[in-house]
Amino acid sequence: MTVAFWCVLIALCLPYVCTGIAKFSQGKFGPRQNHDPRAFLATLEGSAKRAHNAQLNSFEVTPAFAAAVIIADIVGNAQPVTIDVLAVLFITSRLLYIICYLADWALLRSIVWFVGMGLIVSFFFVSM
């Protein structure tokens, strides 16, 4: 498996890391909250709420990233190392995005988000 494919797996796991942070950072999540975790997540505030929002955004962007990696691999015009580098850069941007979200650095978070989206678009350009 290529590095880029491993990065897709990492991207698929990142939302669940954010979920764990959201649920367990305040120490309030327990068996009773597990009966309706979405209602519990809706009551969060502060960094836990931001972790939940990062989770939602991660679920939103992951399909585009996975599709870009798969399409670039199928087309086959890009060097495999180029695809791998773009994938690692995307995962790095997602980790920075999550950190910015948790730290409440809104402007920097938006900039990092645009970088990540630019990286997704880059997969298509390197495959031409």
The torsion defined by the Cα of 41, 47, 50 and 51, in degrees rounded to 10, comes to -70
Q: Provide the H-helix boundaries in 25-45.
A: 37-42
Grade residue 66 by pLDDT with cuts at 50, 70 and 90: very high
Query: Above pLDDT 70, what percent of the chain?
Result: 97
- Share the mean pLDDT of the chain: 93
What is the per-residue pLDDT for 28?
72
Cβ-Cβ contacts under 8 Å for 112 (sequence gap 6 or more): 93, 96, 97, 100
Does residue 32 register a pLDDT over 80?
A: no
pTM for the complete prediction? 0.92
% of the chain exceeding 90 in pLDDT: 77
**61-65, 78-82, 103-107 — which is least confidently predicted?**
78-82
Note the pLDDT of residue 24.
Answer: 85
Quick: pLDDT tens for 90-109: 999 999 999 999 999 999 99
CATH of domain 3-127: 1.20.120.550
